[in-house]
């Protein structure tokens, strides 16, 4: 191979190793968020630790004085092994006696250090072929270009189609292939590379074999995450969607977070929907549901014969389609999403309420807990003001508001946010065996009073007396003084992360 062609090939190597390196970083951050909660803290700590490890690796290359080509190939094999196995190892060790955090930081540190060694060593291999100023400019250009490719591919293609385990194994294969291919590119200049070539081939074969078994690895890891057997698992564009089934019924999990159990979801959804309708003071005709892709809140609204139109806005079509086709979920939601009165819109709820011009008698905000910035914005003053603008005269909003027991400050922040948006608001709560004490906020423009009589009969958990009890607070659960959550501050996400971290292993 000519000198120029070797240089071009090595620039391609720069691009590939940069892509793989950033993918490993994103995998570690995403797995930590998936298993520990998608928080700013976890992602920022992973990124900071990884970048620091890159610096350690770059500095460590000064210790490599001889056989640079051979050491580069060995570093590629080691990076392929550690980075490629990062997601499988992290998933499999989760919940093993508190070892996850330790393993996470070991993986982040080792991967970052190895990736940090790659580019300096490769630049040393190129310096005899390229002028220094061209070398630095071109090497960094392809390095940053690879990082861009990784960031786009990870979010748009890799996680939605492959998932995190297959993604890390795939890029381990890429790293090992780069190391193996480099031995042929450098062979004429670097002497014998038989040992590094053999090691790269062994790592490549091992990772490729594991990639073919990734379904089994994922099944084993998910079996360790959930108490009940997994009956369905899939990666949507936005979340890992898992259904488990046990003696207590069927449970839906999104990114390892329990959304509901059919054993007691009726208590949650009756408390979410019926106090709002009772507070309306007239038969509801139109309703808007933000979130609620499982169709369970829609089921409760459809109990009212006066309902003519329910618009359900949920970001993830993977969830709404599952609620339409899985028999267990169709039985639970009584086929609500296929009811002619229900229109499902798969888009961002915050954008929808700002663009929509319709008015609704009842608005139900049934979003997941605010454990990320993307969810935190759904509990912001801006979102609440936009939602308020969608109310018909006398209309009512009910907001899922986290647990006033486990996350009391977060619950209080949601209540303060609703009031800061100019709405009169009442806090209320219900006990759920699957979740513990759970909180909601009822809101209106103008004055609001706690409802005393239900507008329908035949509910499983609520009657008039139980309805009134929802608004009675014991002293250790009552809301605390709090500041509202805005898109700029996102104080709700930080408060929620801080409170829930007390209950993580």
Q: Cβ contacts of residue 334 below 8 Å, gap of 6+?
A: 299, 302
What CA–CA distances, in Å, run from 447 to 271, 396, 441, 450, 471? 21, 11, 14, 10, 16
Stretch (H or E) spanning 396: strand 391-400
Q: Is 457 helix (H, G, I), strand (E, B) or coil?
A: coil
Task: Identify the residue whose tokens are 């950033």.
Answer: 22
115: nearest Cα among 186, 61, 43, 169: 61
Whether 368 and 330 have beta carbons less than 8 Å apart is answered as no
E-strand stretches of 224-375: 230-235, 240-246, 249-254, 257-261, 286-291, 309-313, 342-345, 360-366
40: nearest Cα among 504, 501, 418: 501
What CA–CA distances, in Å, run from 348 to 2, 43, 168, 445, 479? 53, 22, 29, 24, 29
Whether 360 and 290 have beta carbons less than 8 Å apart is answered as no
Q: Which of 143, 294, 361, 366 is catalytic?
A: 366
Q: Burial letters for 181-204: b for 16+ Cβ neighbours within 10 Å, e otherwise?
A: bbbebbeeebeebeebbebbbebb
Q: How far apart are the C-alpha atoms of 268 and 252, rounded to whole Å?
A: 14
What helix, strand, coil percent values describe the chain, rounded to 5? 60, 15, 25
Bridge-based pairing of strands 436-444 and 257-261 is unpaired
Q: Is 122 helix (H, G, I), strand (E, B) or coil?
A: helix
159: nearest Cα among 18, 320, 23: 23
Q: How far apart are the C-alpha atoms of 504 and 36, rounded to whole Å?
A: 7
Q: How far apart are the C-alpha atoms of 222 and 484, rounded to whole Å?
A: 37
Residue 361 known to be catalytic: no
CA distance between the termini of the chain: 55
Alpha helices in 191-312 (DSSP H): 194-212, 214-225, 265-280, 296-301
Q: Which residues are identified as catalytic?
A: 366
């Amino acid at each position: 191979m000519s000198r120029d062609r070797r240089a071009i090939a090595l620039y391609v190597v720069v691009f590939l190793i940069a892509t793989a390196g950033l993918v490993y970083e994103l995998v570690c951050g995403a797995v930590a968020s998936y298993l520990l909660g998608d928080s700013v803290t976890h992602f920022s700590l992973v990124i900071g630790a990884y970048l620091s490890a890159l610096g350690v690796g770059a500095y460590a290359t000064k210790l490599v004085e001889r056989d640079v080509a051979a050491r580069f190939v060995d570093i590629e094999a080691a990076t392929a092994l550690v980075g490629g196995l990062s997601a499988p190892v992290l998933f499999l060790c989760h919940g093993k006696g508190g070892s996850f955090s330790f393993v996470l930081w070991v993986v982040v540190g080792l991967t970052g250090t190895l990736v940090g060694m790659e580019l300096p060593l490769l630049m040393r291999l190129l310096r005899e072929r390229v002028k220094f100023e061209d070398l630095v400019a071109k090497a960094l250009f392809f390095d940053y270009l690879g990082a861009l490719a990784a960031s786009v591919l990870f979010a748009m293609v890799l996680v939605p189609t492959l998932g995190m385990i297959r993604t890390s194994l795939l890029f381990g294969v890429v790293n090992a292939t780069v190391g193996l291919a480099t031995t042929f590119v450098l062979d004429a200049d670097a002497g014998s590379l038989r040992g590094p070539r053999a090691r790269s081939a062994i790592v490549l074969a091992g990772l490729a074999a594991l990639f073919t078994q990734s379904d089994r690895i994922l099944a084993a890891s998910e079996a360790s995450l959930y108490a009940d057997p997994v009956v369905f698992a899939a990666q949507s564009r936005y979340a890992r969607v898992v259904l488990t089934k046990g003696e207590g019924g069927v449970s839906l999990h999104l990114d390892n977070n329990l959304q509901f159990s059919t054993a007691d979801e009726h208590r949650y959804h009756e408390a979410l929907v019926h106090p709002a309708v009772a507070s309306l003071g007239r038969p509801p005709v139109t309703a808007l549901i933000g979130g609620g892709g499982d169709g369970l809140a829609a089921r409760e609204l459809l109990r009212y014969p006066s309902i003519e139109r329910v618009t359900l806005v949920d970001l993830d079509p993977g969830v709404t389609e599952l609620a339409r086709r899985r028999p267990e979920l169709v039985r639970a939601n009584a086929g609500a999403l296929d009811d002619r009165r229900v229109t499902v819109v798969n888009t961002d709820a915050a954008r929808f309420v700002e663009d929509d011009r319709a008015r609704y008698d009842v608005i139900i905000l049934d979003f997941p807990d605010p454990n990320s910035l993307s969810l935190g914005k759904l509990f912001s003053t801006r979102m609440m003001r936009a939602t308020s603008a969608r109310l018909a005269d006398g209309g009512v909003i009910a907001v899922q508001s986290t647990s006033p027991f486990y996350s009391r400050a977060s619950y209080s922040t949601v209540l303060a946010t609703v009031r800061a948006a100019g709405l009169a608001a009442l806090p209320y709560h219900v006990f759920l065996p699957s979740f513990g004490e759970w909180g909601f906020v009822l809101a209106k423009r103008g004055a609001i009073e706690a409802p005393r009589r239900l507008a329908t009969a035949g509910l499983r958990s609520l009657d008039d007396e139980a309805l009134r009890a929802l608004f009675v607070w014991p002293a250790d659960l009552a809301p605390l003084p709090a500041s509202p959550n805005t898109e700029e501050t996102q104080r709700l996400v930080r408060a929620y992360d801080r409170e829930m971290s007390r209950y993580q292993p």
